[in-house]
Amino acid sequence: MIQMHSAEQIREAEEAAFRVTPEGTLMQRASHALAVSCANLLSDVRGAVVGSRVVLLVGSGNNGGDALWAGSMLARRGCRVDAITLSDRFHATGAAALRAQGGCLSSWIRDDEQKLLLERADLVIDGILGIGGSGPLRADASQLAADVRDSGALVVSVDVPSGVDADTGAVPGAAIRADVTVTFGAMKPGLLVSPGCFHAGAVRLIEIGLDFAAAAPVALALNDIDVAMRLPEPEEDAYKYSRGVVGLAVGSAPYRGAALLATAGARHADVGMVRLLDRLDGVAPMVVAQYPDVVIDGAAPAEQVRATAWACGSGFIGDADDESTVLAVLSSRRPVVLDAGALTVVAGSARVRDLIAERWSSGLPTVLTPHEGEFERLCPGLLNQGRLSAARAAARSLSCIIVLKGAGTIVVGPSGPAFIDTEGGAELGVAGSGDILTGLVAALLARARVHDLRHESVEVVEVVEAVAVAVWLHGLAGRLAAHDGPVTAPDIAGQVRRAVQVVRSGAAP
């Protein structure tokens, strides 16, 4: 599992390391790894390190020092290295090392010579700002970021792309767009949360000897091993009721397909049974015609005691009848996932929001799965503070688990670390994809047995992890579907079974 730490935690760990290591040790570790990464990139893309043209963008902080030292090492390997400084204050020892290897330094004035350096560069190393940077870039750095973009050179950022907030991923103005970010000591949330992730490129984490044993991570990201551990094969004596039973209240006359997709997401995730609430709108018979193993039941959700988790809202239009269904599902003493039209109901009904809060206080989790438009209706203006901060705040204010969908989907509860998804890609951005995710989330909650039949309270982290696993599987199903060309939601649904199989076999790509 990838652990992410805040800029403050990283600075504290660095200060602790400075007290027990010789001066300059951490920078030497970082700059050496940076130089190796840059050399490997040049070798892979250009075919050679010797003769490559490298331009360093040097700020006043330690990132600039890392860039200067790495530049000196690349110069020693036969690169032509030019450093452009954006401040009168820069790392003197690193600058001396660069000059000693034949490198050149100049202050940024954007003259024809410097523009030519960038136009001819094979590689640009961005060391303007680090984890201490906040707010938009200054005008000079902003212009330089545009010049770098136009140059077409490979770009490697040091620790975090300049202009990206390390803690939130916010990009309040212009920012460097890197092909690779070499980050040190710990992963930063801003490298995985959009829009920061779009600027980070491929991220390489370098351990430099920082100790975070006493610092709880602010965010986590699952890998295939984590998912496999949380998705075990059924026990030898398993039967349909012991493997999790998903209740679905989904679809409507105008949006019948949503019911099919949510059902597919649930039933392909290796649960024992899927039960569909019959709302007498013609949806249930259509679903059973497609999936004969699905059980139709018109009883109130609270009376369907076999169900161990519920999903509700996919294909709803958010009217009064839908509100009645949402209230009925929330009255069941089971984990509940609310999506699509159910989120419209949540946004407009104080009664529903109060019930969600009451459920949380009694140990019953509710999961909301908004995309950014739905999130804005739920919590107007909150996204202005960035996706990660907004998701945390919404989870606290609504007393629920938030799945803020999009690039780097965020899963977070009212307390504890957030999970940031790194598996899903652009192929998930098709109509109906969210309906599949809703069924998947309900299935993983049902499988995880996060709430048993004795109505005992649940551990928040267990619920959040189960939801994060569902999000990860959804992403893998999308990637598998994309192997055969352009993707539609049925393609993604058809790959859920394979995604489970791939994870269990240890063959996740």
pLDDT tens across 378-391, in order? 999 999 988 999 99
The per-residue pLDDT for 509 is: 62
Exposed, middle or buried, 388 (CB in 10 Å: 0-12/13-18/19+)?
Answer: buried
User: Domains in the chain, start-ordered, CATH in brackets?
Assistant: 2-220 (3.40.50.10260), 224-505 (3.40.1190.20)
Distance (Å) of CA 112 to CA 109, 138, 413: 9, 21, 53
Q: What is the pLDDT of residue 449?
A: 61
pTM value?
0.91
User: DSSP string of 461-506?
Assistant: HHHHHHHHHHHHHHHHHHHHHHTTSS--HHHHHHTHHHHHHHHHHT
Alpha carbon distance 55, 17 (integer Å): 30
pLDDT in tens, 82-135: 999 998 888 899 999 999 999 999 998 878 888 889 999 999 999 999 888 778
Q: What is the mean pLDDT of residues 315-341?
A: 96
Q: Helix axis angle, 25-45 relative to 7-18, nearest 10°?
A: 120
pLDDT at residue number 451: 40
- More reliable by pLDDT, 10 or 452: 10
pLDDT tens-digit series, residues 26-77: 999 999 999 999 999 999 998 999 999 999 999 988 999 999 999 999 999 9
Surface-to-core class of residue 425, CB atoms within 10 Å of its CB (0-12 exposed, 13-18 middle, 19+ buried): middle
User: Looking at 345-494, which runs of residues are DSSP E strands?
Assistant: 366-368, 401-404, 410-412, 418-420
CB distance 176 to 126 below 8 Å: yes
Phi and psi at residue 47, to the nearest 5°: 90, -5
Q: 227 φ, ψ to 5°? A: -65, -40
Cα(367)–Cα(312) distance, integer angstroms: 10
HEC per residue, 124-169: EEEECCCCCCCCCCCHHHHHHHHHHHHHCCEEEEECCCCCCCCCCC
In this predicted structure, what is the pLDDT of residue 508? Answer: 63
Q: What single letter denotes the amino acid at residue 482?
A: A
Res 236: pLDDT:
84
Quote the pLDDT of residue 400: 97
Give the pLDDT confidence score for residue 264 in this predicted structure: 97
Rounded mean pLDDT, 412-438 = 95
pLDDT tens-digit readout, 233-292: 888 888 888 889 999 999 999 999 999 999 999 999 999 999 999 999 999 999 999 999
Q: How many CB atoms lie within 10 A of CB 29?
A: 18
pLDDT for the residue 109? 85
pLDDT of residue 182: 97
What angle (nearest 5°) sits at the alpha carbon of residue 108, between those of residues 106 and 110?
120
Q: pLDDT value at position 461? A: 76
DSSP 187: B
pLDDT at 455: 41
